[in-house]
Chains A and B, each alone.
Chain A
Amino acid sequence: GAGVSQTPSNKVTEKGKYVELRCDPISGHTALYWYRQSLGQGPEFLIYFQGTGAADDSGLPNDRFFAVRPEGSVSTLKIQRTERGDSAVYLCASSLIPQETQYFGPGTRLLVL
């Protein structure tokens, strides 16, 4: 079956611009997670949704980062006033329920110039 998909696969933007990253979870998965991975590091948790609500947003680095999941399926991670330090791979994962294995998408590579 189809796995987690993310679009775009690559995004190049300029400092100060706004970007949106999209995640389509595996059909039927109620839990959705966003992580960020910098070069040479492991993924770092950003936010986790159970259904439409953010169950844990403790990993969002500051108020420039925001994520939504309005219908409990697709999620969008929004970054305002991008900075060069935001450059990383943004990974999305989903699981059937929070207690189950998380399956990751291929990620969006964001480069802020």
Chain B
Amino acid sequence: RKEVEQDPGPFNVPEGATVAFNCTYSNSASQSFFWYRQDCRKEPKLLMSVYSSGNEDGRFTAQLNRASQYISLLIRDSKLSDSATYLCVVSKGAGGTSYGKLTFGQGTILTVHP
């Protein structure tokens, strides 16, 4: 079993739709959680950190359930520019920061169409 598992996707949604991605992790020692975005043939870039209380950044909302070892990302009012691969990432760093090794899920492809 992979340490971080994500919905395989792909997700194809119209502009303006709301879409949700889910992720589970197996290592209970994981302390820090992130969503990264990766455009086609580009490097991953940090989208947002995920905090226990849940957090929002504009149209993006991230949730963490430590008891279920489950992370989610919600995108509201999808834009064409949201088309990318979304990577769920965990780390053993404490205090909401990354430390050393990041463990990535396989990624979920999102395509937003007109």
> Among the listed stretches A13-21, A77-85, A94-102, which one makes contact with chain B, having 4 or more residues with CB under 8 Å of it?
A94-102
Q: Please judge, given known A-B contacts A42-B87, A42-B104, whether A107 and B43 are in contact too, CB under 8 Å.
A: yes
Is B98 a contact partner of A95 (Cβ separation < 8 A)? Answer: yes
Residue tally, chain B, CB below 8 Å to A: 21
Interface residues, chain A, CB within 8 Å of chain B? 31, 33, 35, 40-45, 48, 55-56, 58-59, 91, 95, 98-102, 104-107
Could you list 27 A-B pairs, sorted by A, with CB under 8 Å? A31-B100, A33-B101, A35-B102, A41-B107, A42-B4, A42-B87, A42-B105, A42-B107, A43-B87, A43-B102, A43-B104, A45-B101, A45-B102, A56-B100, A56-B101, A98-B93, A98-B98, A98-B99, A99-B93, A99-B97, A99-B98, A101-B98, A102-B98, A104-B43, A104-B45, A106-B42, A107-B43
